[in-house]
Chains A and B, each alone.
Chain A
């Protein structure tokens, strides 16, 4: 079964850091571009960023709202995707989803992990 499982969410104070993980199974993870998408409470979906595959030099791209604070990485040997979040702000509070990118859409999503930034 194709599956993505996020972990690492929790409560963090403003200015703090958190690292999210996404474990992939059931498909050849290394072949795929992978994204993070978030959803603030009661709000819509927001693209966070992308990491491409080895064939595309593991290039990363970020939304303007997180550029310079968030870093996406991957470990193909562990079938895992990561999101390092630094200098967190209250507006970063959201459910964070990892998603498999396929031909300019997202065909597989995880169930999400909740990040709360609050003092």
Chain B
């Protein structure tokens, strides 16, 4: 199972919006509505930000949103804030296994 493809990095100024793509195949992203997104600050454990493509856990700011079209899922951060600077990973169920994305570093300029 190959890793899902994410851009290596994205950046934006405070208040702007950024979108991270996550491209897989019909065997993972395209085949199930079970894509989740994780935020990871340096030296810390990942934290779920979005699950089931579009759902946001309680406590996650509503500036984080998710979507999916075909084999590509996306995470959008609206109203970028300094604390959003981190690595982000998508993850998809792939039928008896899971596959993570390659990771995207979000930089707040």
Q: A105-B36, A106-B36, A112-B45 are in contact. Are A45 and B52 (CB under 8 A)?
A: no
By beta carbon, the residue of chain A nearest B46 is: A109
By beta carbon, the residue of chain B nearest A110 is: B45
Interface 9-mer from B13-21, B68-76, B78-86, B88-96: B88-96
Contacts of A112 in B (CB 8 A): 45
Q: Using a Cβ–Cβ cut-off of 8 Å, how many residues does chain B contribute to the interface with A?
A: 26
| Docked-complex contact A47 and B99, CB < 8 angstroms | yes
The answer to whether the Cβ of A31 comes within 8 Å of any Cβ in the partner chain is no
The answer to whether the Cβ of A103 comes within 8 Å of any Cβ in the partner chain is yes
By beta carbon, the residue of chain A nearest B87 is: A44
| Docked-complex contact B51 and A103, CB < 8 angstroms | yes
CA distance A47 to B38 in the complex (A): 13
| Docked-complex contact B97 and A47, CB < 8 angstroms | yes
Q: A21-45 vs B: 1/0 string, CB under 8 Å? A: 0000000000000010100000011
| Docked-complex contact B46 and A44, CB < 8 angstroms | no
The contact of B52 among A47, A50, A63, A105, by CB within 8 Å, is A105
Q: Using a Cβ–Cβ cut-off of 8 Å, how many residues does chain A contribute to the interface with B?
A: 20
The winner among B1, B32, B46, B103 for most chain A CB atoms within 10 A is B46
By beta carbon, the residue of chain B nearest A97 is: B45
Contacts of B101 in A (CB 8 A): 44
Q: A97-B45, A105-B36 are in contact. Are A64 and B51 (CB under 8 A)?
A: no
Among A34-72, those with CB < 8 Å from B are 35, 37, 44-47, 50, 61, 63-64
Report the minimum CB–CB distance from B39 to chain A (whole Å): 11
Report the minimum CB–CB distance from A34 to chain B (whole Å): 13
Other CB < 8 Å A-B pairs besides A45-B103, A47-B97, 5 of them? A44-B89, A63-B1, A105-B51, A109-B47, A110-B45
Interchain residue pairs with CB less than 8 A apart (26)? A35-B98, A37-B46, A37-B100, A44-B89, A44-B100, A44-B102, A44-B103, A45-B89, A45-B91, A46-B100, A47-B91, A47-B98, A64-B1, A97-B45, A103-B52, A104-B32, A104-B36, A104-B52, A105-B36, A105-B91, A106-B38, A106-B46, A106-B91, A107-B48, A107-B51, A109-B46
